[in-house]
Every structure is written in C-alpha cells, then in structure tokens.
Structure 1
C-alpha cells in the first residue's frame, strides 16, 4: 500500500517546547515557520557518533541509508550521545515533548563515523568521553551524503591535524554538487595550553574551508546574549566564512528518551550542553529551511544568504571574533536586493509606497483588503506581497480656510455685453502685481460668476467666456445664467471636480437654439496632490499632474424653473480621478465621463430651490499591471433652499445639503502573478481587484446668510460636515464663520 500522507504542518509555534529549544527563538526561526518552512523533504547529513534510532525526536525521519560509515558494520546507535544531541539541535521533532530542532521535519541521514570502541556513553550527569574519528570515515560519510541527495552536511567535529587528501577530495566533490557544509570552529578558546591558535578556527575546519568551493560555513559559539562563548574559537583568518550561532547552554541531556532531570540539595536541575558542536547544527537547520522554502536556491546562494543576513556583532561589519555576525533566520528569509513582480521586469520596492489616493476615495487607503501578488527578489525567491500596502490617503481638502483667507483685491468692469475681471495682490516687496483672472470675494457671493473671465456676445444668440485660472464649470454656469449661493464648505454637485485642481485656462461658448441653450466648454490645468505622510510629506509636498476636460451642456427655462443637463469628458495623463499610484500599479492616467443634472426653480414669495447631481465613470488606462477592466463609479449630490428678504430687505438666507464627489463602487483590476512554480520557475497570472470606494460618506449641511450693505456686505455661515473627506472615523467638522467686507 502507498505510504500514508504526511501530517499537516503545525500552526502553533509559540509553545513550551519552542522556548525550551533555545535555537529557534534565539535565531528568529519563527519567520520561516510562519512561511511554511519546516525542513520537510530536505535531507541533512549528520556525520558524528551516530544517533539514537528509537528516540521519539526522530521517529519516521531517519533516512534508510543512515548507518555506520567506518566499515565496522555496527548497527545504527550512539555510544557517546554526542551525535544524538547534535541532531536534536538540528532536527528534533515538533511533537510538544521536550525540544524541537531548527528544521524539525527534515530527513536525517545519520552517518556514524566514530572509530569503533573509541567512545562510550558516560553515566547521566557526567561528561562524555571523547571519541576518535578517522578522516577516511568522515570522507565516506560525506560521499554517502552526496550519493543520497543531501542538501546540507553537518560536521560537528574538530582537530588540529588538518584534513587528509581523501577528505579534501570528498569535501570538494560535495560542494561542487552544491551541498552546503557546516563545520564547528573548535572549543579551544579557554584551554590553558591549546594545541593551536584559538583566535582562528581549528586547522581541521580551515582545511575543509580551503577545499569547499565557497560552500563551507564555519560556526563559532555565542551565548543567549549574543556574546562569544569563552570556550569558542574565534573567526580569525577565516572570518569571511564564519557565522556565529547559539552553542552555549543548549538543552538538554536525555535519559530514557526524555529530558534528564536530577536533584541536588533539594533542587531540580537539567544538564545542558556547551560547544561549537551545537552552534553548527543551528546553521545547518537554517540552511535546510531555506532549501525547502526556496527550491530554486543553489548551495552558493544559501551560503551567501546566511552570511549576508547575519546580525552584526562585535566590531561593525565582518570581524575577527564573530566573523560575519550571528545567525538570523528571519533576515535570511526576508526578500533581498531588487524585487519585481514575478515573470516581469516591473520593480516593486519593499518600502510599500503604493501611491496616494484622492478626495473621492476618502478612507479607502486605511480600509482596503490586501491585494496579494507574487514578487521575486534578487535570488529568484517568491514572496506574497500586498500591493495596497503603504497606500497613502491624500490630505482632506481644506474648504473653509481658503474661502476666508484672501490678500487680494479684485477689479471688474462691464461695457455693454462685454465683461472683464482681474485681481491685484501685494507682491510682498512693496509693489503690486496683477494676477490672472481670479475669483473675487464679492463675486463669489453674487448670482452670476463674473470673476476670473472675459465674457462677450458674439451675436444675438451666441456668447463666449474665456477664463484664466478658472474652471470651465464656472464659465458654463455664468453663460447659463444660473444662480449660486454663498456657501463656504458645501459645494454644488455639478461644480465638483473631486480633487483639488489648479485650472490653467478655460473657454465656453453658448449658442441659443430656440428655447434651448447649448454650451460647449474646454479646460486644462493641473491636479494638485498632497503626496506622502509625515516627514515624507514635508520632503515631497504638493505635486501637480496635468488634466484636460471637454464638456457639452443643454439648458432650458420652463416657467419659473431653469433646467440643465450636461456631459463632461476628462482626460488625466498621470492620475486616476486625482489619485496617483505607484509605477508597479500603473501611471497611465485615466479618462472620465461625468453626466450632470441641475435644476433651479422659484416657488414664489421669495422662496426658491435648487438641486444638482453628478454621476461619473472613470476608466483607468491600461498599463503596467492595470487592465482595461478598471472602472470607478462616482457621484455627487446637492440640494438648496433659499429665502430672499428673510430678515431684512435685500438679505438672503440659504440652506444646502451636499455630498461631495465620492467613489461609490469599482476600483482597479490588476493582472499580476498570483502563484509561482519553482519546478518550472514560472508564475501564474490572474486578476486581482481592489475597491477604491471609501467606507465614509461626507454629508455637508450649511446655512448661509448674506446682507448687502453700502459698499460691501456682511455674511454668516454655520456648517456641519459629517465624516468629512469621506473618512468614516473622522470627527464631525462643525463651525461658524462671520465676514464683514467693504470696498474702497
């Protein structure tokens, strides 16, 4: 019968077993575990004194070719216990008992290389006797590991005699096959009369390094504070290939297949291990995790990742004590180098700056669901990334302040059917400068929008309006003889651009067609976008991106009512309804269609009403990852009630309820890699969508009262904005404004 399927990978890693295991927590293996890496399917060769084949820590994971490589024909076992302890650090099972290893699901190729009769297992609580190992046996173990597909070989052995040519050849063969070899630096650091210089790894380790084709890592030992162990040899002359790892206070000695505990003076103790023998399997386990998680990695890449991702210790950079630093599995698993969408050359920076949204999108940047795609780092490793991560919300538009703060003087004149207006402001250097036609304070509160434009009759039935730094909507409203009240925060729906604009110039032409009026308009300018947040905003500030509009409107007066229906087409070159997204999403701009409806009617006895509505459809241009299926729907609404001569002759009292332009549905459709096959090194593409409709909905209520006076006017506004800027969690914006203005 076929073998039973493997058990599902564990999901709970923060356990008592995890914390008793020392290495996984010390070296941040949790990142690898959460990514699904456990060592499953990776064969690790352990050349040592053997292994306890009956231990629960290795059940079902001892390779069939494990055994004695000395030629003595011994069964698999461990006279000394050293090999079993080393293997536990590397690959003990995660079974909620005792400890688990770094790569707790790896397949263990236990290669018993100790000279027969050279070591015996000591009594519990006593130091183990030393074992002897012949180079020929170690070489035989290396060759068997190569022949059986090992990705990693752990050699927690040392000595002062270097390595024989047989062993050198075996190491050369293994590393040419792409196998990572990890060897202990040695434990001569605190010996009174060491046989060789403890400031460098043992001659045995150095000999393996010299024949390792760049795939040999030498391990030194640190304690759980990251300080070099006093018994450990230092990095010395081999520092570029040395990695430090936990090798001090390693839990624990076992008896009867469980942690051995003994009592002294009424207190319970466990016996722990010290030695670079136990730092090496921490690194070997990390290499096995990388090999499983990223099957595309070569042995050279695994070595490079482990060395370059190490946490710096001692002197900055590589040094003679810690070598490249302390093993950091979390950093080794993080994307490295340039990252790009799998199967493309589209760069995706890890900074997570997905771009900046616009006003109609409100709080969408804070409420969107993840939009996952697959990226590759410079090692060709695949990662899931949230493309919406780091998407910034633009600063809400200021509505009250710009309406109140002016340092300008507006001048207008009418001659027959021709009207002209311009503004003068203080230049700040004691002279006056003439500004392009801007909207005057007073004219903003008149029934006609006359400011910021030149308007003249072409014929009896045709009239044009030319504006500089004025929107085309202003020109159209003026030509249609529509009214406008003095509201500061609640805008009229058909005047809503959705995002902050800096108009360049605009032109409108109205032709009477019997009882109807047909008005065409054009406008171009720049969308102003507040990019970045916090310190980034101070660095980047406001950016401007071009747009252009083309409009057509039909109006008619029916009794006391005036009706208008219009359509506007807008082209954006680099933004999408005022939002600018990252290059990896798309900056090809957009085209929008807006349909507007407007009605004003006199109800008699000084009462009048008005309502305005705008419906928009925005199509993002395909490019980068954006597809032609990216559609946003938006709308804006407003309703007015006005009473003339409410409190005094000539005054005007008006109430408006309005919703600024808001995305109601739709968003971006991205064609991105959604899966990656390491066997073929190819991605699978699919459509990922994320909505640009905010959770919040601004409703602005405002009461305005205006009383003209000789040479000026006095006005008062009371407003209440709920969920301002379409931010659901934003506090209400409530305020009152008073103004007294006279001309001179």
Structure 2
C-alpha cells in the first residue's frame, strides 16, 4: 500500500440510548407459510411473486420475532443530539423476502474489510474462502453478519449466502479478493471502507491507481464489475460536498457503472409497502447519485470481541451505525434476488434494486432521471440517489408486464381474450389449469394465471 494512502473505517460504534432487543420467540405462534415451488430456473421454478397478500401474516410474525426486534432501536450520537428511530430489516421490507422462503442460498457475497472473526457463530459454517492474512476485527465481523448472519441471536439479510472474506490492508489483498469473487461468480463485492483525502477527481484517481499494485487492483475491479456488482459505502461525513473516490469511481472509469453501486446511511418512516419519509445520516450520494441508494445502517450485529469484557468471542454482538452497515444490506439484497431470479445476471439484479428503490417519500427532490430499461425512467437525487432500498418492490413485477405471443412480446392488458356473453365463463374455466410466462420491464419472469386474460362479456340489462 503506498505511504500516502490510509484506509478509514466507517461505522464507528455510537452511544445507544435505547435498544429494543426483544425477547424469546417461544410465545409467538407462526402462521403456516403458503405453498411455494422453490428452486430451478424457469417461470414456474422459483419465487416469483405477483401479490404478497398470502404471506402478509407470516411477514407480520417475522416483524414480531426476537431476531427482528433486536434491530429496532432508538439512539443518538450523544446527549442533546437528535433522537433517531431505526429498524433496518423492516425499513427495507426484508421480511417479505424471508416470508416467502428466500435466504440467499446458492449466492456468494465477497467482502473486503479490516478483518473478521472467521469462526463467529453468525456465519462460521458459510465462509467458503479467505484471501490473504485476516485478523479478528469488529468492523468486518459486523459487516459480514449483516450481509449473511444467521444465529439464535440475529438474522442478516441473506442468512444462507456463502462468503468470501479478505482484508483491505493493501492493494494486493484487495486484488486477490476481487479475483476470487469473480472466479466464484459472487453476486456482490462489498466494500465498507474508503480512502481518506481521495476525492473523485483525476488527482485522487492517480494517487490511488498510478503505481503497479494500484493498477492491478483497478484491473481486477474492472474484470469483476463486468460480471458482478461492486458495492461501496459512502463516507459518513454528513457535510461532505464532494464524493469520495471509490463510491463515485465510474465517473472516472465509465465502464464500471453497469456493475457499481454506492450506498448511504439513512433512517426511515415506513408502512408495509413503502418508505414515507427518510433522514440522511451519512454523506449524500453527490456525484454518484445515478448509481446510488440508501438503507438504514444502524444494527446490532456480530462482533469479534465482547463489548463488555473486551475478550475474544464467537458469540458476541454489538451496536453500531454507519454507511458501513448500510452497504452489506444491499449486498445481501442482491443475494436474495439472485435466488429469486436465477436466470438474471447480477447487472440485471442491480437494475431491479435501483428501479424499485422508494423515491416518493417526503423530502425527496429529483435532480435527474435515468432510463434503467427501455421506456422505464427512474428519478434520482444528489442526496438520496434512487431512494431507499425496498426488497418487497424488487421481488414484484416492475414496469410493463408482457406476455409472449406469436407477434412478439405484448403488454398483458393488450393480450386479453374477449369472449361473447353466450360463452359465459367457459373460456376462463378452460384456462384454469394453466399459467402464462409473463416478463416485466427488467426481464423478471412471473407466472400469471391464464384465466386472468379472459374478459368475459356479461349480458347488458334491458
């Protein structure tokens, strides 16, 4: 690592005013989850959801479970500071993905960070590869558990995803992790760190990538981003007016944009469908706005050391907030989508996240719009990017659903079969045993009951 560089850790642990950690789930009666056909690769072979109503009671039971309530907190940066309310799992509507059985199984998330407690109970049995020499560290341990944690104490976003873990201590180890991520087909390469004093300018770029190790790291990023999605946390400096280099790197290397996401930290007010208001905690998206979104980065997550005793621990948890802990939510979300849409590439999944991000909440002011799919435009702002992460919306049809017909893809509403009154409901009953393959604007495949296309004419009253 060149001497003029210094890595900085985001997500410094803060003073918790009140954390609602919940209790046992033993008195909670979980409803029966509706039947669903998991696995496979085809319209009827995986978790394609048109309507979450059948799973609403199950989602509600998850919201009341101890592991979900662990993440509900009231906190501040110190005495006299504003009081914030956080609920990261439910603000991003992760419970709806978990309710239908999505876990990130089969997906790989790579993480470059300060270090990890590799054998922590939250993810020990799912660490597939470690690159370089990795030492125990609270920060990386928390990040990994948010992306893919699963223990009696906590649940992360993609609790069955596999992890590749590597240190960010040099450009060489960063390169190794990026190469390993590409070789493993990782859906996301998470980076909850940044270079200090390196802005998204030609000077900042040259400071980091001009030597041979930096150039090799950039080449590895290009190769990985051509297939997977690089996720970078924004700075935690709320007052920043110029983006850090890494979140906004596609400004200087445009070919990276299709495989790049920047993620900020924000709290939210929300209902079961959407975010209704948001408060930014980290830096704004700024120059990275066109490929940026936000999530609630306030978590109680796995730690390498017991926060009370300071001793090494494989079962300890601690509280923290920062963009560092918002970024792995997005990486975990990509893993859930990879399981739900096995035929889509990581780049297509990235577009689903941006297109489904909530941006109609109070305080969002559009500064631009981008065409994410033919005919589908999505607003973004320099403050919140495309908006707040929303997994529920990402799992549902986005844009214009179409059905394949002899003349090509036809919007569903134009594919209706109109029948005369004399046929009654004969057509819809005849179609009752069939489903049709319907694609949305982002190539997501959904099953539509065929009777939905039958518009039966009823006799007009005299």
Match of 2:289 among 239, 258, 264: 239
Quickly say closer, same or farther: Cα 1:30–1:353, change in 2 above 3 A.
farther
Ranges in structure 1 where 5+ consecutive residues have no aligned partner: 1-7, 114-132, 191-197, 261-270, 403-744
User: RMSD of the TM alignment (CA)?
Assistant: 3.4
Tell me the TM-score normalised to structure 2 length: 0.65
Quickly say closer, same or farther: Cα 1:189–1:111, change in 2 above 3 A.
same
Residue 159 of structure 2 aligns to a residue whose secondary structure is coil
- Does the CA-based 8 Å contact 1:253-1:273 persist in structure 2? no
Alignment match, 2:334: 287
- Does the CA-based 8 Å contact 1:37-1:289 persist in structure 2? yes
1:206 maps to 2:248: yes
Tell me, in whole angstroms, the C-alpha distance in 1 between the residues paired with 2:102 and 2:230. 20
- Does the CA-based 8 Å contact 2:166-2:173 persist in structure 1? no
Q: Deviations over 1:94-144 (max 9, x none)?
A: x5x22212222111111133xxxxxxxxxxxxxxxxxxx433332332223
Count, aligned residues: 344
- Give the structure with the larger helix fraction: 2
1:187 maps to 2:236: yes
Tell me, in whole angstroms, the C-alpha distance in 2 between the residues paired with 1:286 and 1:318. 20
Tell me, in whole angstroms, the C-alpha distance in 1 between the residues paired with 2:139 and 2:188. 19
Tell me, in whole angstroms, the C-alpha distance in 1 between the residues paired with 2:348 and 2:187. 12
Alignment match, 1:109: 164
Quickly say closer, same or farther: Cα 1:56–1:347, change in 2 above 3 A.
same
- Does the CA-based 8 Å contact 1:201-1:218 persist in structure 2? no
Tell me, in whole angstroms, the C-alpha distance in 2 between the residues paired with 1:102 and 1:383. 23
- Does the CA-based 8 Å contact 2:192-2:232 persist in structure 1? yes
Tell me, in whole angstroms, the C-alpha distance in 1 between the residues paired with 2:160 and 2:439. 26
Q: Deviations over 1:2-25 (max 9, x none)?
A: xxxxxx999966431244454442
Tell me, in whole angstroms, the C-alpha distance in 1 between the residues paired with 2:327 and 2:413. 32
Residue 142 of structure 1 aligns to a residue whose secondary structure is helix
- Does the CA-based 8 Å contact 2:267-2:281 persist in structure 1? no
Quickly say closer, same or farther: Cα 1:349–1:18, change in 2 above 3 A.
farther
- Give the structure with the larger strand fraction: 1
Counterparts of 1:565-714 in structure 2 under 5 Å? Answer: none
1:273 maps to 2:338: no
Match of 1:141 among 150, 163, 177: 177
Tell me the TM-score normalised to structure 1 length: 0.42
1:219 maps to 2:263: yes
Tell me, in whole angstroms, the C-alpha distance in 1 between the residues paired with 2:88 and 2:419. 42
Match of 2:146 among 59, 64, 89: 89
Q: Deviations over 1:615-642 (max 9, x none)?
A: xxxxxxxxxxxxxxxxxxxxxxxxxxxx
Structure number with higher relative contact order (C-alpha < 8 Å, ≥ 6 residues apart): 2
Quickly say closer, same or farther: Cα 1:355–1:284, change in 2 above 3 A.
farther
Quickly say closer, same or farther: Cα 1:200–1:300, change in 2 above 3 A.
farther
Counterparts of 1:90-489 in structure 2 under 5 Å? Answer: 90-93=147-150, 97-113=152-168, 133-159=169-195, 160-161=197-198, 162=204, 163-164=208-209, 165-166=214-215, 167-176=217-226, 178-189=227-238, 198-207=240-249, 210-211=252-253, 212-225=256-269, 229=279, 231-247=281-297, 249-252=298-301, 254=303, 255=306, 256-258=313-315, 260=317, 272-312=319-359, 313=361, 314-316=364-366, 317-341=379-403, 345=408, 347-349=410-412, 355=418, 358=421, 361=424, 371-389=434-452, 394-395=457-458, 397-398=460-461, 402=462
**How many Å apart are 1:347 and its aligned residue?**
2.4
Quickly say closer, same or farther: Cα 1:388–1:204, change in 2 above 3 A.
same
Alignment match, 1:29: 94
- Does the CA-based 8 Å contact 1:61-1:107 persist in structure 2? yes
Q: Deviations over 1:171-206 (max 9, x none)?
A: 112112x1100000110115xxxxxxx134322322
- Give the greater-gyration-radius structure (CA): 1
Tell me, in whole angstroms, the C-alpha distance in 2 between the residues paired with 1:390 and 1:20. 45
Q: Deviations over 1:202-261 (max 9, x none)?
A: 2232236633243111101111326655541101122111111121x322465454565x
Quickly say closer, same or farther: Cα 1:321–1:55, change in 2 above 3 A.
same
Quickly say closer, same or farther: Cα 1:141–1:383, change in 2 above 3 A.
same
- Does the CA-based 8 Å contact 1:168-1:208 persist in structure 2? no
Quickly say closer, same or farther: Cα 1:229–1:337, change in 2 above 3 A.
closer
- Does the CA-based 8 Å contact 1:43-1:108 persist in structure 2? yes
**How many Å apart are 1:46 and its aligned residue?**
0.7
Residue 168 of structure 1 aligns to a residue whose secondary structure is helix
Q: Deviations over 1:467-506 (max 9, x none)?
A: xxxxxxxxxxxxxxxxxxxxxxxxxxxxxxxxxxxxxxxx
- Does the CA-based 8 Å contact 2:289-2:386 persist in structure 1? yes
Residue 284 of structure 2 aligns to a residue whose secondary structure is coil
